[in-house]
Amino acid sequence: MITVSVVGASGYSGAELLKLLVRHSGVRIDRLFANTSAGKKLADVFPAFNKTLDIVLEQYSVESIAKSDLVFIALPSGEAMNIVPGILAAGKRVIDLGGDFRLQDTSLYEKYYKRPHTAALILKQAVYGLPEWNFSQIKSAVLIANPGCYPASAIPPLVPLLKDSIIEPAGIAISSLSGVSGAGKSTSLEMSFAEVNESVRAYKVGVHQHYPEICTVLTALSAVTPSLSFVPHLLPITRGIYTSTYANLKKNVNEEAVYAVYDKYYGKAPFIRYSISAIPEIKNVNYTNYIDIGFRVNQESRQIVVLSAIDNLVKGAAGQAIQNMNIMFGFDEKEGLK
């Protein structure tokens, strides 16, 4: 049994994390922190927790996590780096669901996140929390950088194809569509129901903070440096991400050969589902920790289209964080997630 605390428990990812933690057999939830809602009961902020978690939300302090083995941080990017050094100094392990420790290059962070990085000295301790590729590093890590939601949908389908030279590394195009919960509890007009309903629009084209994450992680895992475009879109739905990736084939392969490559790398991965025939759909992955992958090969044009779907709040955030926790502390990787 381990004891965990959550900083940022009143946000969408924080709430999703708690829904998963309460059904985990090896976890005791200790303290919950949410500065803007401090003093309120969790059930007053999220009525779904009534008679499930009778905990009062608190202002965060490093002294308050004294009994915790692990601290989850579900704060907007830019905030975790202010408190993680103190948590690590207290001897606690950390899983950060934000973006502060995903990029080892602080100049990239500052370019795309538009702020200075104040915790560069501990960046080398951060392990990128992609369980299917970094299992052994995650197991011994003290600081996990949970992947961003878009990278969680784009990176797993691409790494095997790059690693086995199935696709050309140049000219990859990634188009992702996300539900609006990915933006967090924003109060901006553009995220209101009236603005997103019955519409689809691209945003942050060429400047999205997940672009350098996708590029650097693909390079690190495949030993190939891709050149790619990434265009995110907003869908008029609450949750889910649908990613379509287009690439030129490097080898003359058919769909059976592509399936064999995925089977080679993901045959034992508990939360990656891939099919030679089925086309992924958001409705089939929502509220789960699965990523569904499908693909079509056009041998005449020597191109491949790879399709993937995830729940941005689960596989793209809280579920992957639980999966990382399970690996860190020796639980069954699927505990609390199936």
Of 276, 315, 145, give the one whose Cα is nearest residue 213.
Answer: 145
Of 3, 15, 73, 24, give the one whose Cα is nearest residue 49.
Answer: 15
With the C-alpha atoms ordered 1, 56, 86, 314, is the resulting torsion angle positive or negative?
positive
Q: Is 177 helix (H, G, I), strand (E, B) or coil?
A: strand
Residue 140 in domain: yes
Mean pLDDT for all residues in the chain: 95
Q: Rounded mean pLDDT of 44-53?
A: 92
Residue 338 in domain: no
Strand partners, 295: 306
Which CATH number do you get for residue 127?
A: 3.40.50.720
pLDDT at 86 over 70: yes
Q: What is the pLDDT of residue 251?
A: 87
| Active-site residue identified among 103, 130, 149, 172 | 149
Residues 170 and 276 in one domain: yes
Q: Is 149 an annotated catalytic residue?
A: yes
Residues 277 and 289 in one domain: yes
Residues 85 and 138 in one domain: yes
Rounded Cα distance, 242 and 234, in Å = 10
Question: Mind listing the pLDDT tens digit for each residue in 21-38?
Answer: 999 999 999 999 998 899
One-letter amino acid identity for 174? I
- 252-259: list long-range contacts, CB under 8 Å, 24+ apart: 252/299, 252/302, 253/166, 253/297, 254/297, 254/299, 255/295, 255/296, 255/297, 257/166, 258/161, 258/166, 258/295, 258/297, 258/304
Question: Mind listing the pLDDT tens digit for each residue in 232-260?
Answer: 999 999 999 999 999 999 989 999 999 99
In the chain, the number of structural domains is 2
- Give the chain's end-to-end CA distance (angstroms, integer): 19
Residues 77 and 156 in one domain: no
Question: Mind listing the pLDDT tens digit for each residue in 182-211?
Answer: 776 655 677 677 788 899 999 999 999 999
Q: Which bin fits 102, alpha (ψ -120 to 50), beta or left (φ > 0)?
A: alpha
